[in-house]
Amino acid sequence: MTKNCILELKDVGKTYSHPSGQKISALKSIDLKVRKDSLITIEGPSGSGKSTLLKIMGMLEIPSQGSVIFKGREVKDISPQKRSSLIRNEIGFILKRDNLLSYLNALENVMLPMINSNPDSAREMLIKVGFNKFKSCPKELSPLELQKVALARAMVNQPSIILADEATGELDKLESKEFMELLKHFQKEFTIIMATDDSHLSKYADESLKIENGALMH
Amino acid sequence: MSIYSLALKNMRRNKIRNISTVLRIGFGVLILLVLVGSGMGINSYIAQFESYSGNNQTSVNDSNHSLNTTIITYINDYLGLDLNNSANPIFFKVTNLLSNLLYFVDGIASLAFLIGVLGVLTTMYFNEVERRREVGLLKILGFNERQIFLSLALEGGLLGFISSLIGISLGSVGLYLISAFIPIISLSIALPWWLIIEVIILTTILSFASGMYPAWLASKNDPAMVFRE
């Protein structure tokens, strides 16, 4: 693993068992090195394996074959307890929708992953992403505002990697552009990996990967 | 955010369901307090009845306003009996009747209380079914199974604690009204401080325990599910 590489996937494959007994191969022999402070897009149609790849990169799933090395440590050797703590400190997630807990306001949602709840840091992070309706509930926010809050929450623990799964999927063209520019702005501080089915977003990326039927097309 | 803070904030969710659970448990606590409170009055009556029924006529005169005196006077006046005399065969029958009545009342009180507290189990189970995605979300934010289990079980305990406070408040008013309309028991006899503390502790612990199984189920949810549409 090179010094600049924070995440490495070696020959990673993932197979699921269908209730009928059939084996479904979601990922096939993926090799990937993620450099620090880069913005990577993973493009592919629905069902191509993008989300599975993100789940494996985010340590939420263990691959059926191959190895995932995060900051020099083999992920499958880390206990579930330590993995949760590692996820909290090192990885930020942004989902397509329903990122926020409906009964918490924007500020509380950002404070959620913080170990020492500090409203000032959370407020500062929200201001950084251009959001100031701290006390608003998720139902009062636009799709772009919701994603901005999700981005602030993903960044609040200063993680190494931010994983975004179709984070612009609910946004219109203008909103997508604004959100991607925001991600690009924070790329200096965080490594960002985004799964998307929108090929137009590749122009914001340092590296754009394509995935089809569970295999990466470099 | 700490799990305690999360458990407290979770109460904002499904307000109507939580309020209905709190009222249901509170009602159980109320029934328990009123019936056990009244039962204690009867118990006190039996104990005192037996102590002075031999020849201690003076104590009857001294506690003219006490529960036992009132009941004895009531029975003597309306049935034309002399229950202050232990040689009277009806004395034992009345004592037995009151003892059985006490067990019956306590049985009903315990049942009402248990039905109320078991309401936490159904509420927390519904919460678990509805919150699968939220639990997944908490897991991708770095909460582990133990923290999620504890926060949900604590939520059940909190529901019980709030319910016990409401039930005790309403129960106190209920007992006050009973004592005002039927002057056979005084509030100090019917509602001692230890009963209040026992009810709070018992309700909170039972509610916490009832919430444990749904919380355990919820904590096992797969975090990867949040990626599904």
pLDDT above 70 (res B88): no
Identity of residue B95: T
b/e burial code for range A198-214 (CB count within 10 A of at least 16 → b): beebbebbebbbbbeeb
pLDDT of residue A143: 92
Domains of chain A, first to last: 36-62+73-217 (3.40.50.300)
* Residues in A touching B146 (Cβ below 8 Å): 81
pLDDT of residue B57: 42
Q: Are A112 and B1 inside 8 Å of each other by CB?
A: yes
Angle between helices B67-79 and B15-52 (to 10 degrees): 70
Average pLDDT, chain B: 73
Find tokens 């306003």 and name the residue.
B65
> Is B220 in the A-facing interface, judged by CB distances under 8 Å?
no
Interface confidence (ipTM) of the complex: 0.86
Q: Is the pTM of this model over 0.90?
A: no
The string of pLDDT tens digits covering residues A193-214 is: 999 988 888 888 888 899 988 8
Radius of gyration of chain A (CA): 17
Query: CA of A115: which chain B residue's CA is closest?
Result: B1
* Residues in B touching A108 (Cβ below 8 Å): 1, 9
Of the pLDDT bands very low, low, confident and very high (cuts 50, 70, 90), residue B39 is low
The string of pLDDT tens digits covering residues A8-20 is: 999 988 888 887 8
Closest CA–CA distance from residue A154 to any residue of chain B (Å): 8
* Residues in B touching A104 (Cβ below 8 Å): 9, 12
Q: Is A58 in contact with A163 (CB distance < 8 Å)?
A: yes
- First-to-last C-alpha distance (Å) of chain A: 19
pLDDT above 80 (res A215): yes
> Is B226 in the A-facing interface, judged by CB distances under 8 Å?
yes
Mean local confidence (pLDDT), A28-38: 88
pLDDT of residue B11: 75
pLDDT of residue B58: 40
Closest CA–CA distance from residue B164 to any residue of chain A (Å): 25
Report how far Cα B39 is from the mean position of its chain's Cα atoms. 14
Task: Give dist(CA A189, CA A166) in Å, integer.
Answer: 21
Give the side-chain half-sphere CA count within 13 A for B207: 32
pLDDT of residue B81: 64
Q: Which residues contact A197 (CB under 8 A, 6 or more apart)?
A: A43, A44, A45, A46, A50, A166, A169
Q: Is B178 in contact with B34 (CB distance < 8 Å)?
A: yes
Q: Which of A147, A154, A218, A137 is nearest to A181 (CA)?
A: A147
Mean local confidence (pLDDT), B127-141: 83
Q: Which residues contact B58 (CB under 8 A, 6 or more apart)?
A: none
Q: Are A103 and B137 inside 8 Å of each other by CB?
A: no
pLDDT of residue B198: 84
pLDDT above 70 (res B42): no
Mean local confidence (pLDDT), A140-155: 93
Query: Which residues is A212 bridged to in the sheet?
Result: A215
